[in-house]
Structure 1
Amino acid sequence: MTSEIILFVNPTAGRGRGARAALPASRVLRNAGYRVRTVLGADADDAAARLRAALAEGPAAVLAVGGDGLAGLALQALAGTGTPLGLIAVGTGNDFARTLGLPVRDPAAAARLAVSLLQGPGPRPLDLGQVGERWFGTVLACGFDSRVNDRGNRMRLPAGRFKYDLAIVAELAAFRPVPFKLTLDDGPVMALDATLIAVGNGTSYGGGLRMCAEARLDDGLFDVAVVGGVSRAELVRVFPRVYRGTHLSHPAVTVHRARTVTVEAPDTTGYADGEPLGVLPLTARCVPGAVLMLAP
């Protein structure tokens, strides 16, 4: 183990905030006595390969400078390695950082917290979700929300979050409950029509949608939130409550806890940490203590 810290940077995160955030974070780390090495790549695959190569030199920690997408990319390299991961959250959603109680869009504060944890209590072992060989830290989402993502990703204009607002409106116009099959651990297959199913390792996704508001990152279990079939009008009425997590008391919402979850549905993509995992069926398992996180 060395005194080197790797800044794993997405220069385009948050419309350029990633590149700008690396400077104050680096300054804090150097002032604390660490050597700083910056790793970035031409694309996701190149960045991940460069990070894995850098890990072979035994850094003290990796700080991912970007949003949930970059944090998810870092998890692919760091899960199970014993190298601590911290987040300099400067993306659009920053759900993983919010769940962990980390500073958001304040790179100097996030770097100072990482230093204090490295020099004090140390990192925390936290759970991750795993689908095949892919790891995720926040929520595996499928149903209405993943179809909004699908539509938004197909739209070239407008740019930014407004594109997804338009995608929500378009999906609401075409909305029908999805016929799901859900299996929890070794239980029976449950057939149900639902608006969406969210498999939460963390509490939120989509920039603060607290769909799995009571999920914990250290209990070895997923919180599986099932929103049953509701009308368009009811979905519009209840949707704002998701930002506060108060939707869990709605009669159409049920929450289960399980270590392994299989979700099936026709023509439905699963998304986790803001990235597509693949077309359902997908099986996710909760892996206790899969990553060491620099979090309070």
Structure 2
Amino acid sequence: MTSEITLFVNPAAGRGRGAAAAQPAARALRDAGFTVRTVVGADADDALSRARHAVRGGTGALIAVGGDGMVSLALQAVAGTPVPLGVVAVGTGNDFARATGLPVRDPGAAGRLVAEALKAGHQRALDLGRVGERWFGSVLASGFDSRVNDRGNRMRRPTGRLKYDLALLVELAALRTVPYTITLDAGEPFEVAATLVAVGNGPSYGGGMRICARAALDDGLLDVTVVGECSRRELLRVFPRVYKGTHLGHPAVTTHRVRSVTLDAPGVTGYADGEPLGPLPLTVRAVPEAVRLLTDGPGTAGAVPPTG
């Protein structure tokens, strides 16, 4: 087993928790006998370039320290390689960590888990979603929720989470359905007027909203949730149910399980793991066992022997 591993750190994650979290995580790993190298990029492109360099150089693991955005960036470096991914989740949402049963906002515990997993060879093979060359672990969003992201990203004030809460209120006031054309696997395209369409490799986004509540990260399939025409009053009434996943039983909601899906709609941006992918149309594919996640046990997909 390679004893040198790489901490991939977003110092701004969770309003500064990323920088603070790196220290106890690194300490736990060093106490377990690992040599720890820290990578912090000047920006996202630079950080990803450095992470890919570490993976090509044979690092024993890439450990993402931050939130879902940092996990997403790390996936671009490790997906399809034998280098395992570790997660020290200290962001705002932490949907990937929650979906995989990893510690949240406890960097010491996360560091110890990674160390134990590396020594025991506990790696769970997980699926990923893929759009072109871009990988994602949780959910691809489009429609109402992506318009909220679009508006929030354009706003300079207020800052932080409040900005997106305000963007949500503005978009809610302008709520409208969008004419989608959807193609499931190799089937015939069909049209539907939808408030939003989400494609889940995992179950949740936005800090616990279980929009694709039945999605599993190791079944080789994507879960597609289509929310049809819905009034503002009805959307507000049903919205709290998304945190338990019970919205899937609402008459306006339909679901599909597929290996691939193509979404097309005018003026709609796709976001995966909270990061913009670009305008629709987009084709999403499930890639089975695309990443090895360091866990506290073999996981449902089985243990993978240590590399190195």
What does residue 228 of structure 2 align with?
228
Identity %: 69
What does residue 5 of structure 2 align with?
5
Shift of 1:295: 2.8
What does residue 158 of structure 1 align with?
158
What does residue 66 of structure 1 align with?
66
Shift of 1:160: 1.0
Unaligned runs of 5+ in 2: 297-308
SS of the aligned residue for 2:159 comes to coil
Of 125-134 and 53-62, deviating more is 53-62
What does residue 82 of structure 1 align with?
82
What does residue 266 of structure 1 align with?
266
Q: CA separation in 1, counterparts of 2:289 and 2:39? A: 25
What does residue 208 of structure 1 align with?
208
Shift of 1:121: 4.6
1:180-199 alignment to 2 at 5 Å?
180-199=180-199
User: Deviations 1:37-96 (Å, cap 9, x if unpaired)?
Assistant: 001110011111111111233122111001111111111110011100011011111111
What does residue 32 of structure 1 align with?
32
What does residue 21 of structure 2 align with?
21
What does residue 127 of structure 2 align with?
127
What does residue 102 of structure 2 align with?
102
Q: Write the letter of the residue equivalent to 2:295.
A: A
Q: CA separation in 1, counterparts of 2:101 and 2:121? A: 16
Shift of 1:5: 1.4
What does residue 138 of structure 1 align with?
138
Q: Write the letter of the residue equivalent to 2:289.
A: G
Q: CA separation in 2, counterparts of 1:83 and 1:55? A: 7
User: Deviations 1:111-140 (Å, cap 9, x if unpaired)?
Assistant: 111122222252111100000000000000
Q: CA separation in 1, counterparts of 2:10 and 2:277? A: 20
What does residue 287 of structure 1 align with?
287
What does residue 55 of structure 1 align with?
55
Q: CA separation in 2, counterparts of 1:88 and 1:291? A: 16
SS of the aligned residue for 1:145 comes to helix
Q: Write the letter of the residue equivalent to 1:83.
A: V
User: Deviations 1:267-287 (Å, cap 9, x if unpaired)?
Assistant: 000000110001000000000
Q: Write the letter of the residue equivalent to 2:288.
A: P
Q: CA separation in 2, counterparts of 1:44 and 1:82? A: 23
Q: CA separation in 1, counterparts of 2:226 and 2:55? A: 39
User: Deviations 1:158-189 (Å, cap 9, x if unpaired)?
Assistant: 11111111111100111111111111000111
- TM-score, scaled relative to structure 2: 0.94
**4+ aligned runs moved over 2 Å, structure 1:** none
- TM-score, scaled relative to structure 1: 0.98
User: Deviations 1:209-255 (Å, cap 9, x if unpaired)?
Assistant: 11011100000000101111111110011011101111111111111
SS of the aligned residue for 1:11 comes to coil
The RMSD of aligned alpha carbons is 0.9
SS of the aligned residue for 2:19 comes to helix
Unaligned runs of 5+ in 1: none
Q: Write the letter of the residue equivalent to 1:246.
A: T
Q: CA separation in 1, counterparts of 2:251 and 2:141? A: 20
What does residue 148 of structure 1 align with?
148
SS of the aligned residue for 1:83 comes to coil
SS of the aligned residue for 1:256 comes to strand
1:36-47 alignment to 2 at 5 Å?
36-47=36-47
What does residue 118 of structure 2 align with?
118
Aligned positions, number: 296
Q: CA separation in 1, counterparts of 2:118 and 2:58? A: 15
Q: Write the letter of the residue equivalent to 1:293.
A: L
What does residue 300 of structure 2 align with?
none
Q: CA separation in 2, counterparts of 1:52 and 1:288? A: 21
What does residue 303 of structure 2 align with?
none
Of 99-108 and 109-118, deviating more is 109-118
